[in-house]
Amino acid sequence: MQNKSNNNAPRHFNLTARILHWLMAVAILAMLFIGVGMTTSITWRPWLIDIHRPLGIAILLLVIIRLINRLYFPIPPLPPTVPRWQAFVAHASHWLLYLLMFSLPLLGWATLSAGNWPVTLFPGWDLPPIAPTSSTLYAWFRTLHGILAWLLFAVVIGHLSAALLHAWIYRDGVFSSMALGSSAGSNRDNEKKNAD
């Protein structure tokens, strides 16, 4: 089957997108484990929280840059070998990831605000509250933060599994579009597969 993609379409996400992707993948996976760990650990909670707050805000800042980059620069199309329903699920899950990457740090910040907790990034460096002190708001924000965090973990596992399917089974250029390597490399992969 001929690859009918437009020769002007990029084969990779731009470098900014790729750097942010892998940097934030590590940060988000770490945050998820730190977050769930700090709710159960009887040894590490104070130090896990001390990391959780500044890392959460760092991810929020990075996702703003990432979204701007995403909206301004073209992204590589999915290969035509990907069925339409799969492409739909892929795009929907990516927008869901953006939604979660934005809302989780904001919800964390709002939770602390509603509970009248100082939002300390580093000793002596506090963020202002973004919500009034209210037990009802605290209950809602805290509960949502937890539910969405578990949802993010589930979507990350799905995302990562699908990425590995593309990398190791389909080998259709989808994984390499977010990875390193030249455009020539992914073309060769497609030609090899077409010859099978």
Partner 1 sequence: MNNLNFKTLKKYWLRFVGIAVIAGSLVLAFAWVAGLFGHRTTSKTFLGDSLSKFDPGYRRAHGKGICFDGTYHSNGAAAAISKATVFAKSDIPAIGRFSIGSGNPHAADNSTATVSMALLLSAADHSQWRMKLNNFPYFPTRNAEGFLAQQKAFKPVPATGKPDPALVEAFLKEYPEARKSIEQKAKMPLTGSFSGAEFYVVNAFILRAANGQEQPVRWSMRPHSKFISLTKEQRDQAGHDFLFKDIKKRLAEGPLYWDLVLQLAEPGDPVNDPSQPWPKERKEVIAGTLEAKNVTEQVNGVCRDINFDPTLVPPGIELSDDPVLAARAGIYSQSYNARLREIGFGKATDAVGK
| Binding residues for partner 1 (CB under 8 A) | 32-33, 36-46, 49, 81-83, 86, 115-118, 123-124, 126, 135-140, 142-143, 153, 157, 160-161, 164-166, 168-170, 172
Tokens of 158: 């799905």
Cβ 115 to partner 1, closest distance in Å?
A: 8
Backbone φ and ψ of 179, nearest 5°? -110, -170
Give the orientation angle of helix 15-38 with respect to helix 45-72, to 10 degrees: 150
Q: How far is the CB of 67 from partner 1 (least distance, A)?
A: 26
Name the residue nearer to partner 1 (CB basis): 72 or 122.
Answer: 122
Instruction: Report the C-alpha gap between 137 and 65 in whole angstroms.
Output: 29
Report the candidate in 56, 11, 8, 13 with the shortest Cα–Cα distance to residue 173.
11
Q: Minimum distance from CB of 194 to partner 1 (Å)? A: 12
Closest approach of partner 1 to the CB of residue 71, in Å: 28
Q: 37 or 181, CB closer to partner 1?
A: 37
